[in-house]
Amino acid sequence: MAVKYDSFEALKQACLNCTACDLAATRTNVVFGVGSPQARVMFIGEGPGEHEDLKGEPFVGRAGQLLDKMLAAIDLDRTKIYIANMVKCRPPKNRDPSPFEQDSCIGFLDEQIRLIDPKIIVCLGRIAAMRIISPDFKVTRQHGAFFERDGRLMMGTFHPAALLRNPNQKPDAFEDFIAVREKLRDF
């Protein structure tokens, strides 16, 4: 049974002290999340990279700079949203988090979602969308589509790092962000 926390601070402290998987041994910092605990929209990536591990904050490298620009284009910023990752410690060499690592950490994310209670969740990248929306999620085909789960809307879109590698997907991703802005007007 998943642990329920009485406060966001209690959840954060438990996460900062976690040693449930081998990623704890190689991390510099736990990357808990940033933003407003009352956010209406939550962005979720797969796991921290090198820059995030060093700073202890999600999406602070080049991909984070792109994410910030895309957020600004739809009149959002890190003070109005919440950004987290499925796993809170960096997988070595930025590899995908293993199923065991995801399972070890998903309770923290579930509690972040429960305590924040966002109206919209945006999964950044295939790995997050496959875990949170559907195991067979195909980001190239299903990006921008909204799915309702537990009374909230969920969408998967391209990970900002993927957009840096493949810039011709940026227009599609930007359309997804515009769709988020339009949905937020309903709440």
Q: Which of 46, 154, 55, 42 is closest to 106 using CA atoms?
A: 46
Q: Which fold has domain 8-184?
A: Uracil-DNA Glycosylase, subunit E (3.40.470)
Q: What is the pLDDT of residues 9-50, one digit of tens each?
A: 999 999 999 999 999 999 999 999 999 999 999 999 999 999
- The pTM (predicted TM-score) of the whole model is 0.96
3-state secondary structure of 94: helix
Distance CA 125, CA 147 (A): 16
Q: What is the pLDDT of residues 42-100, one digit of tens each?
A: 999 999 999 999 999 999 999 999 999 999 999 999 999 999 999 999 999 889 999 99
Tell me the H-state helices in the chain: 8-16, 23-26, 50-55, 62-73, 99-116, 126-132, 139-142, 160-165, 170-184
